[in-house]
A and B are shown apart, each in its own frame.
Chain A
Amino acid sequence: MSFEDIKLLLVEKFGADIIVGEETGGLQPALLIDPDRIVDVCLELRNNSKTYFDFLSCLTGVDYGVEANSFGVVYHLASIPYKLQLTLKISKEHDRANGEPVFKSITSVYRTADWHEREAYDLVGIFFEGHPDLRRILLPDDWEGYPLRKDYKTAEYYKGIKIDF
């Protein structure tokens, strides 16, 4: 099943407004999905007998920079029966002074997203709504700030201890 077929399948199922855009410039095309309906899309792609995207390879939280003022999540799905790969992207504008951006969690579809989303929360500062246990995973619980944000300033002190490097 080609990229265009998958696009058609999603449009037929959910209507044309589910796909916000697409990126076909590089080696791997990507579908930009409406962020509020990502769970439905993942569930459909996983359960549809024509696609069976049953394996979530990778989930990446992205900070698109201070100027772009938006955050996003990139999903890399793989279909084991059909040996396919697919990239889905969601993004939304968010003012970084205004708390964390909120996206829907897909842990109900892929359990592997659990730790990936915790990592995205930990390092990029994206809140996943509906996640069962959204704690920091790599950094200590009381860490301040999100290191992979583009405007992150390296902390000088941690609990009163000077960080030398």
Chain B
Amino acid sequence: MTDALQAYNNKIAAASVEDMVLNMGPQHPSTHGVLRLELITDGEIVKEVIPHMGYLHRCFEKHAENLTYQQTIPFTDRLDYLASMNNSHAWVMGVERMLGIDKDIPKRVEYIRVLVCEMNRIASHLIAVGTYGIDIGAFTPFLWCFKDREHIMGMLEWASGSRMLYNYIWVGGLFYDLPVGFEERCREFINYFKPKMVELNQLLTDNQIFISRTANVGVLPRDVAINYGCSGPMLRGSGLKWDLRRIDGYSVYPELDFEIPVGTGLMGTVGDCWDRYKVRIDEIEQSVKIMEQCLDRLQNELKRTVDFDPRAKLPRKLTPKPQDYYVRCEGAKGELGFYFMHTDTRSEIPFRAKVRAPSFNNLSVLPEIAKGVMIADLIAIVGSIDFVLGEVDR
């Protein structure tokens, strides 16, 4: 037994005498998956939170060291399984840049990628918002969000053949072109979805009970957020305009017009749970805006043609020259990064691949901001982080 493990065991043993040690999870509904939180509580006040994870560890990095770049794409789908498109997009971008073919990708392919990624981002945020409502005690938004999300799932299934784990974006292209009529269906969805968001805002965002439960709770100051490596809506909720879609300007995002919503402390303090929630709601709106712009391009100057083949640029051999490359992109949860270490000129397999999972880093701030809160507020904080255990455990 190592010293650190011994110290931890001693701490739990000592805490069981004075205070109460309480297990939350791994089967607790509000931990959003198989996260186990060990709470040291004094009455109803949480003195310390010790997260335990790994229940969903699937050895992603070990798999990636044994499979070719193309073969690993289905595994990346299973990282953040609520936004699979974003994961494979990041992976594929990294490999394409290492191969030096990232400038040759046809514009139509890039726009389709961005379109499906943004659809998936909406789906992911809808889950975040809906399950957050259910954590707080509002059941209706959950059903509404899942109903709307199901439209997106249906459309992405239509495009890729799978409901959640798509394997749609490939190195150098796409699995297939969009099915005929997809763009029109997207338009229909947007027209249906916009009023739904207004209703959702009326039901949840401006709901006084919801505001009382989330405003001024779990305040994450900006410097703490940066130091803990928080990214995505967590960091933006703390009031920092940091969106890699704008900072790095990858894919076709520089050609698109969208705002970066940040937390303003409208209902309480900057960086509280309500701010993080609101950033997600605003991001859904922005994603809808991006979808519309993509559809405009895809239906006009980048129309499908009979001879367009999204697999035309697929490289025969995925053999980058030996180098290290760290690719980062804005996933639904934050900065999603892949670090490739390629050493063998003739190999299609990376020497080492590492995932920088946004949920993993976002979750690591939980023990810091959950110190001294009530147990009920802890649920609100955990929900506002919006992590996916598939990505935390990899």
Q: Are B4 and A112 in contact (CB under 8 A)?
A: no
A91 to B206, CA, bound (A): 53
**Hey, which chain A residues are within 8 Å of B2, CB to CB?**
134-135
B interface SS class: mixed
Minimum CB–CB distance from A80 to chain B (whole Å) comes to: 6
Judged by a CB distance under 8 angstroms, whether B242 is at the interface is yes
Judged by a CB distance under 8 angstroms, whether A3 is at the interface is no
A interface SS class: loop
Judged by a CB distance under 8 angstroms, whether A1 is at the interface is no
Q: Indicate whether A139 sits within 8 Å of B61 (C-beta atoms), given known contacts A27-B98, A112-B229, A115-B361.
A: no
Q: List the A residue with the shortest CB-CB distance to B355.
A: A58
Q: Are A58 and B326 in contact (CB under 8 A)?
A: yes
Instruction: Kindly identify, within residues 60 to 77 of chain A, every residue whose CB is under 8 Å from any CB belonging to chain B.
Output: 60, 62-63, 74, 76
Produce 1/0 per residue, B327-371, CB < 8 A to A: 010000001010101000000000010101000110010001000
Q: Which of B51-59, B296-304, B376-384 is found at the contact surface with chain A?
A: B51-59
Q: List the A residue with the shortest CB-CB distance to B340.
A: A26
A-B contacts besides A28-B324, A134-B2, 4 pairs, CB < 8 Å:
A60-B352, A111-B364, A139-B57, A147-B62
Q: Indicate whether A57 sits within 8 Å of B323 (C-beta atoms), given known contacts A80-B240, A111-B227.
A: no
Q: Are A60 and B354 in contact (CB under 8 A)?
A: yes
Interface size class of A (residues with CB under 8 A): 35 or more
Q: Are B324 and A58 in contact (CB under 8 A)?
A: no
Q: List the A residue with the shortest CB-CB distance to B6.
A: A135
Q: Are A58 and B337 in contact (CB under 8 A)?
A: yes
Cβ-neighbour of B229 out of A63, A110, A147 (below 8 A) = A110
Judged by a CB distance under 8 angstroms, whether B228 is at the interface is yes
Cβ-neighbour of B227 out of A25, A87, A112, A141 (below 8 A) = A112
A87 to B337, CA, bound (A): 13
Q: Are A87 and B393 in contact (CB under 8 A)?
A: no
25 A-B contacts (beta carbon < 8 Å) = A25-B321, A28-B324, A54-B226, A54-B227, A55-B226, A55-B229, A57-B326, A57-B328, A57-B356, A58-B337, A58-B354, A80-B226, A83-B247, A111-B364, A112-B364, A131-B4, A133-B4, A135-B2, A135-B4, A135-B5, A139-B57, A141-B5, A147-B59, A147-B62, A148-B352
Cβ-neighbour of A26 out of B65, B229, B325, B364 (below 8 A) = B325
Produce 1/0 per residue, B1-31, CB < 8 A to A: 0101101100000000000000000000000
Judged by a CB distance under 8 angstroms, whether B97 is at the interface is yes
A27 to B65, CA, bound (A): 21
Judged by a CB distance under 8 angstroms, whether A23 is at the interface is yes
Q: List the B residue with the shortest CB-CB distance to A139.
A: B54
A76 to B335, CA, bound (A): 13
Judged by a CB distance under 8 angstroms, whether B322 is at the interface is yes
Q: Are B54 and A26 in contact (CB under 8 A)?
A: no
Judged by a CB distance under 8 angstroms, whether A30 is at the interface is yes
Q: Indicate whether A111 sits within 8 Å of B228 (C-beta atoms), given known contacts A27-B98, A58-B337.
A: yes
Q: List the B residue with the shortest CB-CB distance to A58.
A: B356
Instruction: Kindly identify, within residues 123 to 145 of chain A, every residue whose CB is under 8 Å from any CB belonging to chain B.
Output: 123, 131, 133-141
Cβ-neighbour of A80 out of B5, B61, B242, B325 (below 8 A) = B242
Q: Are B53 and A62 in contact (CB under 8 A)?
A: no
Judged by a CB distance under 8 angstroms, whether A56 is at the interface is yes
Judged by a CB distance under 8 angstroms, whether B149 is at the interface is no
* Across the A-B interface, the 3 shortest Cβ-Cβ residue pairs: A26-B323, A112-B229, A138-B54
Q: Are B337 and A27 in contact (CB under 8 A)?
A: no
Minimum CB–CB distance from A164 to chain B (whole Å) comes to: 15
Produce 1/0 per residue, B227-264, CB < 8 A to A: 11100000000001010000100000000000000000
Judged by a CB distance under 8 angstroms, whether B108 is at the interface is no
Cβ-neighbour of B62 out of A28, A110, A148 (below 8 A) = A148
Q: List the A residue with the shortest CB-CB distance to B354.
A: A60
Cβ-neighbour of A87 out of B5, B7, B324, B352 (below 8 A) = B324
Minimum CB–CB distance from A140 to chain B (whole Å) comes to: 7
**Hey, which chain A residues are within 8 Å of B360, CB to CB?**
115
Cβ-neighbour of B394 out of A62, A112, A131, A138 (below 8 A) = A138
Q: List the A residue with the shortest CB-CB distance to B54.
A: A138
A55 to B234, CA, bound (A): 14
Q: Indicate whether A148 sits within 8 Å of B227 (C-beta atoms), given known contacts A26-B323, A83-B247, A141-B5.
A: no
Q: Indicate whether A28 sits within 8 Å of B325 (C-beta atoms), given known contacts A80-B226, A112-B229, A138-B394.
A: yes
Minimum CB–CB distance from B393 to chain A (whole Å) comes to: 6
Minimum CB–CB distance from B198 to chain A (whole Å) comes to: 34
A110 to B230, CA, bound (A): 12
Judged by a CB distance under 8 angstroms, whether A114 is at the interface is yes
